[in-house]
C-alpha cells in the first residue's frame, strides 16, 4: 500500500511540472505569430511607403510644381534639407523638404 501511495505522490509532483512546459511553447508560438502578422501588415508596408516617399523627395528638381505645407509653388532652388519655391510672381519662400506632399 505504501508503494502505491508513493507512486501516486511522485506522479502528482511530475504532472503539474509537465503542463506549464507545453503552455510555454504555445505562448512562444503565439507571440511569434503575432509578431509576424504585425510585420506583414504594419511594418513592411510602412517601410515601402517611406522608401517611395524618400525616392520622391530625391527626385525634386528645379522647375517642378510641388505641394508643400498646403501651398502650391514652383521649385526655384534645391538645397540639402530645404527647397526654395516661388508661390507667386516674385514671392519665393524656403520650405523644408519633408513638407513636400506631392510633385505634379
Q: Where are the domains of the chain?
A: 1-58, 61-104
61-104: in CATH 2.30.30.60: yes
Sign of the Cα torsion 93, 95, 65, 76 reads: positive
pLDDT score at 76: 95
Please give the C-alpha separations between residue 3 and each of 7, 13, 63, 93, in angstroms, as whole numbers. Answer: 6, 15, 94, 92
Of 15 and 88, the structure prediction assigns the larger pLDDT to 88
pTM for the model: 0.64
Rounded to whole angstroms, the Cα distance separating 54 from 11 reads: 63
Report the pLDDT value the prediction gives residue 24, as an integer from 0 to 100: 84
Q: What is the pLDDT of residues 29-84, one digit of tens each?
A: 999 999 999 999 999 999 999 999 999 999 999 999 999 989 999 999 999 999 99
Q: What is the pLDDT of residues 28-44, one digit of tens each?
A: 999 999 999 999 999 99
> Would you say residue 11 has pLDDT above 80?
no
Amino acid at each position: 500500500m505504501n508503494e502505491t501511495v508513493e507512486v501516486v505522490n511522485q506522479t502528482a509532483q511530475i504532472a503539474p511540472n509537465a503542463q506549464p512546459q507545453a503552455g510555454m511553447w504555445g505562448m512562444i508560438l503565439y507571440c511569434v505569430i503575432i509578431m509576424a502578422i504585425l510585420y506583414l501588415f504594419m511594418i513592411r508596408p510602412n517601410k515601402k511607403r517611406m522608401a517611395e516617399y524618400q525616392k520622391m523627395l530625391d527626385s525634386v528638381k528645379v522647375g517642378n510644381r510641388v505641394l508643400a505645407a498646403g501651398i502650391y509653388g514652383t521649385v526655384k532652388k534645391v538645397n540639402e534639407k530645404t527647397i526654395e519655391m516661388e508661390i507667386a510672381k516674385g514671392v519665393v519662400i524656403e520650405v523644408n523638404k519633408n513638407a513636400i506632399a506631392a510633385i505634379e
